[in-house]
Amino acid sequence: METKNWIDGEWTKGKGNTITVKNPSDLSETVGEITLSTVDQASIAADAAHAALTTWKDITGNERGQYLYAMANALEKHHEELATLASKEMGKPFGEMKGEVTRGIQLLRYYASEGVRSDGDVIPSAAKNVLQYTKRAPLGVIALITPWNFPVAIPIWKLAPALICGNTVLWKPAENGSLTAYKLCTIFEEAGLPKGVLNLIIGKGREIGTFLTEKADIKGLSFTGSTSTGLSLAEVCAKRNIKYQTEMGGKNAAVVLNDADLQKSLPPIISGAFRSAGQKCTATSRIIVEEGIYDQFIDALKEEMENVKLGHALEAGSYLGPVASLEQFKKMNRYIALAQKEAEIVYESKDQTTYDGYYIKPLVATGVSSNHALFQEETFGPLAVIIKVKDYDEAIDILNDTDYGLSASIFTNDLHRAHRFLDDAEIGMVRVNQETAGVEYQAPFGGMKQSSSHTREQGQAALDFYSIIKTCAVHYG
Ligand code: ADP
């Protein structure tokens, strides 16, 4: 497979360099070739998105919804094919990847129905014979810059609400997710979307991403990726007065109190830490355990970790696959070496794979202070660090002592402390006896502090981002 851009309804080859994509589960397998684009090509895409805007925003929400339903149906038809390709491109186990495609289908259908949802408020006027009300208007052309870790669900949770609100889209996927992005657009083509409504531009963040943010005539930017990139894009958008949304890093924690039911708590904690090889913004990378249950917790964790199998993403039984890229592999090896040197290892998987790939063995460490790099930095890999605390208050202090505020969970049977936790955690998504990852599509997604620009994705909240409220008043007396 060789990628092409989808610009103004046409498939055009990138005019930049070509990158060969190897399967991170088995580097002897070539998955395809990505051809990067030039800024000129991105500029043509921006023109196409503008030209498509008038028609797209003028058709009814019902009609736009029909296109989204058709996109969902096309995706359903190619479900396994797309999941297989994405697994090969970035190493997420096939079962999980299929779940991600299902999420994409659900998102498209959810937002399709928003096309006919009642919306706006009637606001009584102080004057007689005046009808005053609000309605949503689209923003215009929206740029989407997406990461590789959810190569299907994240782009869809941005483009579906953007499209249903009447915006047109310029989408630049991550380099490591571009084969999947290209395939996804070939599937969406089957839905018969009008040309220029959704444009795919494959390219480098520093070139195409920068052009879209700094130069293209866009009215909104939705970005998911690293905190450093997100903060710099936010600055550019603020200067241009462009509406922006940046979903960035996390250092998510599971807090385990003395009264937690370990049998029920361990599966979601381990899943949060090691599914997708820990490469989720909402992955559990800190585990804060109250001292009364600490020893029991460690014993139970070691036992449960024996079920966490590292293997080829397409082989049944692999709990986690490799990390996605050489860059990730190198970074994780640095963190693993740091843990080996400065922490105490609680558990290290002994799994051996026969493949040459970017495999990082799941590791659980302890014995570092809460200001240590392992407990503060987003590692984005299969590494969890445990800290013992004397009580709930210390747990909360440590929980909140981070720059991030994306997701956290508490494991307890104490209703009072569970509710206190939901108030005390300076975190956007807070949960009780549930995994830190896996927020449902109909619920708002987003963080506090340096994790996000404080807007929300998914659910009804996404409609607020992709539209602007107009206040209308009609005098009929
Ligand atoms: P990650 O570390 O998860 O790869 P990045 O922030 O580097 O996170 O990348 C997320 C997305 O942002 C990707 O699509 C990437 O190409 C894009 N990107 C990276 N750097 C820039 C930049 N300077 N300007 C715009 N987009 C960028």
Q: Which residues pair with 199 in a beta bridge?
A: 170
Q: How many residues does the chain have?
A: 477
pTM above 0.95, yes or no: yes
CA-closest candidate to residue 113, choices 162, 64, 158 = 64
Residue bearing the CA closest to ligand 1, atom 3: 225
Written as one string, the DSSP assignment of 114-183 is GGGS----B---SSTTEEEEEEEEE-SEEEEE--SSSTTHHHHHHHHHHHHTT-EEEEE--GGGHHHHHH
In angstroms, rounded to a whole number, what is the distance separating the alpha carbons of residues 170 and 198?
6
CA 385 to chain centre: 22
**Distance of CA 364 from the midpoint of ligand 1 (Å):** 29
Q: Ligand 1: residues whose CB is within 6 Å? A: 145-147, 172, 174-175, 205-206, 209-210, 213, 225-226, 229, 233
Residue bearing the CA closest to ligand 1, atom 15: 205
- Residue 106 CB contacts under 8 Å (≥ 6 apart), including other chains: 441
pLDDT tens, position by position, 57-103:
999 999 999 999 999 999 999 999 999 999 999 999 999 999 999 99
**Distance of CA 141 from the midpoint of ligand 1 (Å):** 20
> What does the pLDDT read at residue 351?
84
Please report, in tens digits, the pLDDT of each residue of the chain (477 residues total).
999 999 999 999 999 999 999 999 999 999 999 999 999 999 999 999 999 999 999 999 999 999 999 999 999 999 999 999 999 999 999 999 999 999 999 999 999 999 999 999 999 999 999 999 999 999 999 999 999 999 999 999 999 999 999 999 999 999 999 999 999 999 999 999 999 999 999 999 999 999 999 999 999 999 999 999 999 999 999 999 999 999 999 999 999 999 999 999 999 999 999 999 999 999 999 999 999 999 999 999 999 999 999 999 999 999 999 999 999 999 999 999 999 999 999 999 998 889 999 999 999 999 999 999 999 999 999 999 999 999 999 999 999 999 999 999 999 999 999 999 999 999 999 999 999 999 999 999 999 999 999 899 999 999 999 999 999 999 998
Kindly report each contact of residues 265-269 with a partner whose C-beta sits within 8 Å and lies 24 or more positions away, as own/partner: 265/411, 265/433, 266/300, 266/301, 266/304, 267/304, 268/409, 268/433, 268/434, 268/435, 269/301, 269/409, 269/411, 269/435
Position 378, amino acid: E
**Distance of CA 238 from the midpoint of ligand 1 (Å):** 18
Atom of ligand 1 at shortest distance to CA of 145? 14
**Distance of CA 74 from the midpoint of ligand 1 (Å):** 29
Residue bearing the CA closest to ligand 1, atom 2: 226
CA-to-CA dists, residue 422 to 282, 320, 411, angstroms: 17, 30, 12
Q: Of the residues 3, 145, 329, which should be mutated to test ligand 1's pocket, given the most ligand atoms within 8 Å of the CB?
A: 145
> What does the pLDDT read at residue 477?
84
In angstroms, rounded to a whole number, what is the distance separating the alpha carbons of residues 180 and 185?
9
Which residue reads 């202070």 in tokens?
369
**Distance of CA 345 from the midpoint of ligand 1 (Å):** 33
Structure tokens given for 462:
């996404």
Written as one string, the DSSP assignment of 328-387 is HHHHHHHHHHHHHHHSEEEEE-----SS-S-----EEEE---TTSHHHHS---SSEEEEE
**Distance of CA 436 from the midpoint of ligand 1 (Å):** 24
Residue bearing the CA closest to ligand 1, atom 18: 205
**Distance of CA 290 from the midpoint of ligand 1 (Å):** 38
Atom of ligand 1 at shortest distance to CA of 174? 14
Atom of ligand 1 at shortest distance to CA of 212? 25
Residue bearing the CA closest to ligand 1, atom 13: 174
The alpha carbon torsion through 181, 104, 377, 352 (nearest 10 deg) reads: -80
Atom of ligand 1 at shortest distance to CA of 228? 6
Structure tokens given for 126:
């102080």
Q: Give the three-state DSSP class for 450.
A: coil
Residue bearing the CA closest to ligand 1, atom 9: 225
Residue bearing the CA closest to ligand 1, atom 21: 205
**Distance of CA 83 from the midpoint of ligand 1 (Å):** 23
**Longest CA–CA separation in the chain, Å:** 81
Residues with a catalytic annotation lie at 247, 281
Residue bearing the CA closest to ligand 1, atom 23: 206
Residue 168 phi, psi dihedral angles, 5° rounding:
-110, 160
Q: Of the residues 149, 229, 236, which should be mutated to test ligand 1's pocket, given the most ligand atoms within 8 Å of the CB?
A: 229
